[in-house]
């Protein structure tokens, strides 16, 4: 295999609760894998910026003959605008967007082929695709086209878009990190999703009476803060997170929700058993990888108790948690994975503990 592949499973040797491989209902066989080839990180070929590069390359060729149907800088064209061009644009505009979708789908299929060379991905039967790019129509088309490419190659791998809104999937997945005792006395929990541009905090309703497998869990209420617009320090960001959690808990108390003394946190990077971040958090404000900083300790200082009980916190990689939101729908396969397309390409793979259930 050309290039170097870093295939480290952080939870495999973990003795602490954070970044663990063995979760209550599933085994995390890998996450945050860094696959390289001669061009660098393979995952960069299937990031949001990679789509922009495909579209920009096409426009560059068209501009030589004065045939570019679009105006302005490519990077400034948003997903909604591209979706509108696809739906309501003239033939040239729609064809240009479709051509970029095709190029990106080819890149996504290439990345998946490279991942399936890895031991932890060799037996993957289904891949859930999440992240902000999936939210758009162009993202959905790229995912569907990549699936066709893989099937044409004879690879029996299903690609499915994450069913929750990508922003909510990163919160709902925290329900699958929670210890069993939580589900006996509480109807909701606190979840945090930390990303390179945003931090979201919210209350997840478990709704176990509707579905004991948590397939009906949903975000009751959440707050989004786009820290990239304000460029805060690390400590300012953590303080703002604490305020968001306090406000969310206050709203839940007014509503009469029985919120568990538990916070699930999704964060980029390799998560140490003690809650430290080894690497991969370079897009967050300030240095989150410092040996003198521990996010778990910081959050616990800000929210020491919930409902009169000491707060328990579990942190894992953000892609792992987004994938966990789909776990109830993955019970008919044994090995599955998630890819999150955003600023970068997040990844995680899983093995269900029980025997696969036949589809009804």
**In this predicted model, what pLDDT tens digit does every residue of 232-249 receive, in sequence order?**
999 999 999 999 999 999
Burial class (CB in 10 A: 0-12, 13-18, 19+), 326: buried
Encoded tokens for 173: 């997945």
Mean of pLDDT values over 304-325:
96
User: How would you label 101-117 residue by residue, b for 16+ Cβ within 10 Å and e otherwise?
Assistant: bbbbbbbbbbbbebbbe
As a whole number of angstroms, the distance between CA 90 and CA 96 comes to 10
Give the Cβ contact number of residue 251 at 10 Å: 15
Mean of pLDDT values over 170-193:
94
Burial class (CB in 10 A: 0-12, 13-18, 19+), 43: buried
pLDDT digit string (tens) for 22-50? 988 899 999 999 888 777 778 888 888 89
Q: Which residue has the tokens 């069993």?
A: 180
In CATH, the number for domain 166-322 is 3.30.420.40
pTM here is 0.89
Residue 91: per-residue pLDDT? 95
As a whole number of angstroms, the distance between CA 76 and CA 149 comes to 29
Closest by CA to 241, choosing from 174, 306, 193, is: 193
Q: Is it the case that residue 78 has pLDDT exceeding 50? A: yes
Q: How many residues are given for the chain?
A: 360
Confidence of residue 114 (pLDDT cuts 50, 70, 90): very high
Q: Is it the case that residue 359 has pLDDT exceeding 70? A: no
Residue 358: per-residue pLDDT? 67
Q: Is it the case that residue 4 has pLDDT exceeding 70? A: no
Give the Cβ contact number of residue 89 at 10 Å: 18
DSSP state of 214: S
Does residue 67 contact residue 110 with C-beta atoms inside 8 Å? no
Residue 84: per-residue pLDDT? 95
Mean of pLDDT values over 99-127:
96
pLDDT digit string (tens) for 9-21? 433 333 458 999 9
């Amino acid at each position: 295999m050309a290039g170097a592949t870093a295939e480290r499973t952080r939870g495999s040797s973990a003795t602490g609760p954070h970044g663990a491989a063995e979760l209550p209902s599933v085994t995390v066989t890998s996450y945050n894998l860094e696959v390289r080839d001669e061009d660098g990180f393979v995952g960069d070929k299937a990031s949001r910026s990679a789509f922009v590069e495909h579209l920009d390359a096409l426009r560059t060729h068209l501009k030589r003959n004065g045939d570019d149907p679009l105006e302005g800088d490519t990077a400034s064209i948003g997903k909604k605008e591209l979706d509108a061009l696809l739906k309501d644009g003239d033939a040239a505009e729609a064809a240009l967007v479709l051509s970029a979708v095709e190029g990106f789908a080819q890149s996504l299929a290439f990345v998946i082929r490279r991942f399936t060379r890895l031991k932890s991905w060799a037996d993957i039967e289904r891949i859930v695709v999440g992240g902000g790019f999936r939210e758009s129509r162009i993202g959905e088309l790229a995912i569907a086209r990549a699936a066709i490419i893989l099937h044409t190659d004879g690879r029996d791998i299903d690609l499915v878009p994450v069913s929750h809104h990508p922003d909510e999937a990163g919160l709902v997945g925290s329900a699958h990190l929670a210890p069993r005792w939580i589900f006996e006395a509480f109807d909701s929990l606190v979840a945090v999703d930390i990303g390179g541009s945003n931090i979201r905090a919210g209350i997840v309703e478990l709704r176990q009476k509707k579905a004991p497998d948590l397939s009906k869990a949903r975000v009751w209420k959440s707050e989004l803060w786009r820290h990239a617009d304000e460029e805060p320090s690390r400590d300012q960001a953590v303080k703002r997170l604490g305020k968001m959690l306090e406000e969310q808990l206050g709203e839940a108390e007014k509503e009469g929700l029985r919120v568990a003394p538990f916070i699930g946190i999704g964060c980029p990077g390799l998560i140490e058993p003690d809650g430290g971040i080894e690497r991969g958090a370079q897009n967050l404000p300030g240095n989150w990888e410092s040996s003198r900083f521990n996010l778990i300790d910081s959050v616990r200082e800000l929210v020491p108790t919930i409902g009169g009980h000491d707060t328990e916190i579990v942190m894992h990689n953000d892609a792992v948690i987004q994938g966990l939101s789909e776990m109830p729908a993955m019970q008919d396969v044994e090995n599955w994975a998630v890819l999150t397309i955003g600023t970068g390409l997040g990844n995680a793979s899983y093995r269900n503990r029980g025997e696969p259930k036949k589809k009804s």
